[in-house]
Amino acid sequence: MPETVSAEHAAGLIKSRMWLDYGAALCQPDVFDRALAARKEELENVKIRSCLSMRPRAVIEEDREGRHFHMFSWHFSGYDRRKHDAGRCNYVPLNLGEVPDYYRRFLEAPDVAILKTCRMDEGGYFNFGPTNLWLRAVVERSKMVIVETNREMPYAFGKENGVHLRDVDYVIEGDDQSGAELPNPDPSEIDKTVARRIAAEIEDGSCLQIGIGGMPNAVCSLLLETGVKDLGIHTEMMTDGIGLLYRSGRVTGSRKTLDPGKVAYTFALGSHALYATMNRNPDMYCHQVDYTNSPYIIMQNEKAVSINNTTQVDLQGQVASESDGQRHLSGTGGQLQFVRGAYASKGGKSFICLSSTYEKHGERKSRIVFSLTPGNIVTTPRSDVMYLVTEYGMVNLKGKSVAERAKGIIELAHPDFREGLEREVYEYRLIPRHVSFEHRNDEAEDEG
């Protein structure tokens, strides 16, 4: 049986130069984090892996100069991004669905894993709640496992979505805070326009992946205005938009090949209403991320539909979703894996959506550019992009030449920027001046 100890006792087990693992999202510990921060003067070079920090991390806040603790993140939240800008958090490039394999094959084993969980259930398991991801691999590889229990953690059904007491060394009683919420601002008119275009492409029985952000979530709201039915869900992140669709009765999962009747996901972030919908809900199934995000798995459900945001696209179709030049914003996440999996699905479609412009320092700028901002990271290569969507239209890039792509993407840009983009594509010969895209009428020519 694991020993129940105070947070201060558990923090006292940490030594300088150890590798710790804080898990991800709702599973990140709080009372242990505060207790460890209180020991900062006794420690140096303690390295912590984490992902999507939803609350300030005491070890970072109490160590302003970074002399004691260092954070490494698999994907940035807004908090992680601010700490990266301050030099306190470093990003690890990845495809999110590969992370369990990184732990098992490439990473130095964590000295201590500290994970927030549900209280132990009748089977002796500490359930991870709606955050499965790579936590089983963390438990397998860690030299010591500490769980911080929380009465408010939603209990989520799923394969290996928890750790058995035999694999736990110490238990801390947590502070029973409710799960941190991810704000969901109301969709803008541009969000709604883009969402309508995508919603019109979704058929009965489609199996959806919805990414983070206003536009993908707006698609869920707009689907309520259509007659589409028997939707399935196979996604990385459970969002409030998916929760809304589920509660409306549009999601049945009856036509899914894998996990029929189940909403399949690997982690959830959203409102308390979403967490309540998921708590002990047998329709919801929390898988490990190497299952949800594997293109080979994704493609096995017919009519897989992937919907994701981006921040910049160039005229060849390269999609940059995670940085602003050298400034890192979020991460690759599962975007590329779902783009590939949806395309390979029978009848599948992948959509990358964006607003045509944004405001910076009071100036309107185009998200559609001739070439990406220097330093920008390509999240989805031009060879993988299927549908691009803005408020001005939609274009399918599959099978299109560079010149055809450039012409189609310019038509998605804000009208104020189209002339400048056209000038650049001709100047740099992306579109040769003699090329015409008018389709020949062969019958008419033959008759002539």
281 close to 246: Cβ distance less than 8 angstroms: no
Name the burial class of residue 276, with classes exposed (0-12), middle (13-18) and buried (19+) by CB atoms within 10 angstroms of its CB: exposed
- For residues 117 and 231, state if they share a domain: no
- For residues 206 and 59, state if they share a domain: no
pLDDT at 184 over 50: yes
- For residues 107 and 131, state if they share a domain: yes
pLDDT at 245: 95
CA distance 45 to 203: 53
CB atoms within 10 A of CB 292: 29
Q: What pLDDT, in 10s, does the model give residues 69-88?
A: 999 999 999 999 999 999 99
340 close to 349: Cβ distance less than 8 angstroms: no
Question: What is the pTM for the complete model shown?
Answer: 0.94
Is 432 part of a structural domain of the chain?
Answer: no
Q: What pLDDT, in 10s, does the model give residues 18-53?
A: 999 999 999 999 999 999 999 999 999 999 999 999
- For residues 145 and 294, state if they share a domain: no
Element containing residue 359 per DSSP (H, E): strand 357-360
- For residues 147 and 209, state if they share a domain: no
Active site includes 411? no
> What DSSP character marks residue 216?
H
Is 182 part of a structural domain of the chain?
Answer: no
> What DSSP character marks residue 24?
S
Of 173, 197, 222, which closes a domain? 173
Please enumerate, as own/partner, the contacts of 243-251 that have beta carbons within 8 Å and a separation of 24 or more. Answer: 243/270, 243/271, 243/273, 243/274, 243/277, 243/278, 244/220, 245/220, 246/277, 246/283, 247/277, 248/224, 250/223, 250/224
68 close to 46: Cβ distance less than 8 angstroms: yes
- For residues 103 and 156, state if they share a domain: yes
What CATH number should be reported for the domain holding residue 274?
3.40.1080.20
- For residues 148 and 26, state if they share a domain: yes
CA distance 271 to 318: 33
Domain residues for the domain of 144 are 3-173
Task: Tell me the average pLDDT across 125-151.
Answer: 98
How many domains does one find in the chain?
A: 2
Per annotation, catalytic residue among 62, 148, 236, 322: 236
- For residues 112 and 205, state if they share a domain: no
Is 285 part of a structural domain of the chain?
Answer: yes
pLDDT at 312 over 50: yes
pLDDT at 440: 44
pLDDT at 121 over 80: yes
- For residues 164 and 39, state if they share a domain: yes
